Amino acid sequence: MENPGIQAVRPLRIVMPGGSGQIGRMLAQFFQERGHYVTVLTRGPYTAPWQTVHWDGWQLGPWIETLEGADVCIHLSGRGIGCRYTARNRCELHDSRIGPTRVLHDAFAVLAHPPRLWMNASTAAIYRHVPQGTEFDRPMDEATGELGGNELLSPLRRAPAKWNWTVRLAKDWEAAFFRTETPRTRKIALRTSLVLSPSPGGVFGVLSNLVRAGLGGTQGNGRQYVSWIHEADYARALEFLIEHEEIEGPVNLAAPNPLPNREFMAALREAWDMPNGLPAPAPLMAIGMFFLRTEPELVLKSRRVVPGRLLDAGFEFEFPDWPEAAADLVRQWRARADL
């Protein structure tokens, strides 16, 4: 691979297509605070303390100039997965990830000096369901992890069709990213677990609201693993990947200690000083999720994803364990909300 490398000693030019969402805003602030120049490509309008440039995510346009000579592209486009998987939503979930990935390939092909690193969002949901205490129960790293799709949930039951669909989406997304060779650009697929942030509007806020309303008990049978990462570690991990030029291909972005939902919810209750929480068994969960216009899979599928490549390369997590991460997120949430 012809890749002259990235000199992190000077400020970098970082371009983030789809960087106006939860992760993008957090990363833009993180990199800007470190003195780098951040540009977000958005279907906007959107104003921010960093440069924002319009794109439509579908066609080449003047926006490609932002990538000319830039150091890093972090592509984060994608309609939020928290919706019912209707035919229309499936189309949007698919097209909003794969369309912009394809047009970025078209852009990289015509650039005289393309970014030397392209990190593309992907998902830890690409791995198979691994419920605690079953024969399938083992950690999924990049080298030995098994991708999902029509997997056995028990000796007699296969994964539901909707679960297969999301795995297919994840595989198509990565295939669209890796399909075209980019000899001058190193590529990393960010297999991202739940990114937990104290900012309102994310998963941590939803779960915290349930806990504070006394509804934060075990979800489903509680044996499904939750793979998660504190947002501070997510940003530090991306900085690490920028600096480590030997790393390319899929990388799991997950804390090293995923845990079963029963323990995950108990630790979150403890962080909020809520000793009790009403449990939500799977049938109740399905009804609740229907009224919330989202899918039970998001909570009931077991993801035991571990960051094999990051750990092998020497990355140190600030928050490897959920109880400490939860306590920190609650502390930050309270400070922001003045609770």
Ligand X SMILES: NC(=O)c1ccc[n+]([C@@H]2O[C@H](COP(=O)([O-])OP(=O)(O)OC[C@H]3O[C@@H](n4cnc5c(N)ncnc54)[C@H](OP(=O)(O)O)[C@@H]3O)[C@@H](O)[C@H]2O)c1
Q: Quote the tokens at residue 66.
A: 């932002």
Q: Which stretch binds ligand X (CB under 6 A): 21-29, 129-137, 139-147, 156-164?
A: 21-29
At a CB cut-off of 8 Å and minimum separation 6, what does 289 contact? 295, 296, 298, 299
CB of 23 to ligand X, least distance (A): 3
**Before 45, cis peptide (omega within 30)?**
yes
The H or E element that residue 248 is part of is none
- The residue among 20 and 208 lying less far from ligand X, judged by its C-beta, is 20
Q: Is 192 in the site for ligand X (CB under 6 A)?
A: yes
Using CB under 6 A as the binding rule, whether residue 92 contacts ligand X is answered as yes
82 belongs to the binding site for ligand X (CB under 6 A): no
Span interacting with ligand X, options 13-21, 156-164, 262-270, 312-320, rule CB under 6 A:
13-21
Q: Using the rule CB under 6 A, which residue among 12, 16, 18, 131 binds ligand X? A: 18
- Contact flag: residue 102 with ligand X (CB under 6 A): no
The residue within the footprint of ligand X, chosen from 39, 96, 219, 302 (CB under 6 A), is 96
**Angular region, 70: left φ>0, alpha ψ -120 to 50, beta rest:** beta
Q: Are 253 and 192 in contact (CB under 8 A)?
A: yes
Task: State the number of CA atoms in the 13 A half-sphere of 11 facing the CB.
Answer: 10
Q: Does 46 bind ligand X (CB under 6 A)?
A: yes
Does residue number 232 form part of the binding site for ligand X (CB under 6 A)? no
The least CB distance from residue 90 to ligand X, in Å, is 12
Distance (Å, rounded) from C-alpha 145 to C-alpha 142? 6
Phi, psi of 292 (to 5 degrees): -80, 0
Binding-site ranges for ligand X (CB under 6 A): 18, 20-24, 42-44, 46, 57, 76-81, 92, 96-97, 100, 121, 123, 192, 194-195
